[in-house]
Chains A and B, each alone.
Chain A
Amino acid sequence: MGHSFLSLLSRMGPASLVATDEQAMWRVKMNDDPQAFARLVERWEKPIQRLCTRMTGSSHQGEDLAQETFTRLFTRRKSYEPSGRFSTFLWRIALNLCYDELRKTNRRREFFLDETDRGLADGPDEFITEEPAPDHVLADRERAATVRRALLELAEPYRVVVVLRHYEGLKFRQIADVLAIPEGTVKSRMVEALNQLNRLLSHTLQEGEICKTQTKKPKASLAI
């Protein structure tokens, strides 16, 4: 879907010579340059999709949220300030959408009051296959599912730090900018997240089931 979008955009005009994401975004802001926008989508589509998938635990939601992120990026192009990094602006849009989606999912879950209806976030959709698999592939798949569930057990402020640092490779300083919190707080949250994950994963691997933590999940949103 994203590739069709890109190919359509790429046919819309001559190639724009933009060196950085910030310059491309400036062109989008000032001239509605479709070529520059296509460049940004191409560059950031996968990272944003990965972020949304890890935050929600669902690849389908990840794809939808990534599309929504770029739609929102375009509609809010006028509010982009070139003094800041483009990536920070984009990560914030994506994270706010993830927070909104997670809140909706939580509300639905509370409404139905059904522990078996864990929504998309707990569905095994990432790992289903009809084809028989060797034992070690099944074991890897099971481990991945366990990690995914453990990550979803973390409160959002901890989960986002793990996703941005461990999976997306952002430096602690960059994460602090995106979340608008001190760098020391980011590191503290990372320590706490790893400690909680250690408890969840070791318990799961030993007992074969996830230990449900009673962590408070505060509302989160980022100023864009």
Chain B
Amino acid sequence: MQDSNEKTESQPGHLIHPSPQEWISYLYAELPKATRLSLSAHRERCPHCQAQVAQWQATMKNLDAWKLPVASALSVGERSGIFQPALKWAAAAAIVLGIGFGVGRISSLASGDMETARASLQSEFDRKIETARVELAGHFQRQQADALQQVVAASASGKAEMERLLTELARSAEETRVVDSESMAAALQRLDDKWTALHAGLRKELETVAVLTEDGFNDTQHKLYQLANFTQTSVNK
């Protein structure tokens, strides 16, 4: 795929087709109005571009199918964990009922007293169903309480984790601040050392100039004495 936005020529009818890049901008509504209208007009009369654009639109529509799930209070794993034991209890109750039904059928055939057997079987069924119902209800209640405890525990651990993270961030910030201040102190110390050295150099040079100046004064004074003596001698002669 090329990066150019050049238009391509078609064989029949000498239509100038917009480039794929232009069509993409068109599909995502990123074209100025005039260009958009121009492309719409072209699309109306060009079956080739019509098909291509329709294909892209179909793909874009397919992309919309992936919607991100909304986070729930309990994860899928936790939910399945909660309800799995209840399902096991239900299955166990069903098996017990099935066995009771089979035994009842066999015993009823042996006795021949259908009415008595049916009544006995019915009461047995009712009793077992009631027992299973009570057990299931109790189990669901216990599971709900456990789930609630799990949610509370998860919330507490999340909060603790965040507090730990926050403490870590604060510590990191503090360390950075300490490092920064140490760097600043070191830079100031270097500047101070440099200034002291410069000051000492200047003082030394100044003292040198003073000594030289004093020597110059002494020399000049000596020469003036010599000149005065010479002048005095000349006058006396």
Contacts and interface: CB of A to CB of B under 8 A. Distances in A.
B137 interface: no
Interface stretch (A88-96, A107-115, A192-200): A192-200
Contact of A130 (B79, B162, B173): B79
A141 to B, nearest CB: 9
B158 A4 contact: yes
Interface stretch (A18-26, A79-87, A180-188, A210-218): A180-188
B76 interface: yes
A130 B3 contact: no
Contacts of B166: 5, 8-9
Contact of A198 (B59, B79, B173): B59
B1 A188 contact: yes
A38 to B, nearest CB: 11
A206 interface: no
Contact of A147 (B58, B65, B163, B169): B65
B76 A130 contact: yes
A165 interface: yes
Between B60, B63, B83, B169, the greatest number of chain A beta carbons within 10 A of the residue's beta carbon is seen for B63
A177 to B, nearest CB: 15
B80 interface: yes
Interface residues of A, number: 45
Interface residues of B, number: 41
A151 B64 CA distance: 12
Interface string A117-144: 0000000011011100000000010011
A59 B66 contact: no
Given A4-B158, A130-B80, A191-B20, A197 B3 contact: no
B76 to A, nearest CB: 5
Contacts of B173: 32
Given A128-B76, A129-B76, A130-B80, A198 B56 contact: yes
26 contacts: A5-B162, A5-B165, A8-B163, A8-B166, A54-B68, A59-B71, A74-B172, A78-B176, A130-B80, A130-B83, A143-B62, A144-B66, A147-B62, A147-B65, A148-B66, A151-B63, A172-B24, A172-B25, A187-B24, A188-B2, A188-B3, A191-B20, A191-B21, A194-B59, A198-B55, A201-B62
Given A1-B158, A74-B169, A192-B1, 4 more contacts: A1-B161, A78-B176, A189-B1, A194-B56
Interface of B: 1-5, 20-21, 23-25, 28, 30, 55-56, 58-60, 62-63, 65-69, 71, 76, 79-80, 83, 155, 158-159, 161-163, 165-166, 169, 172-173, 176
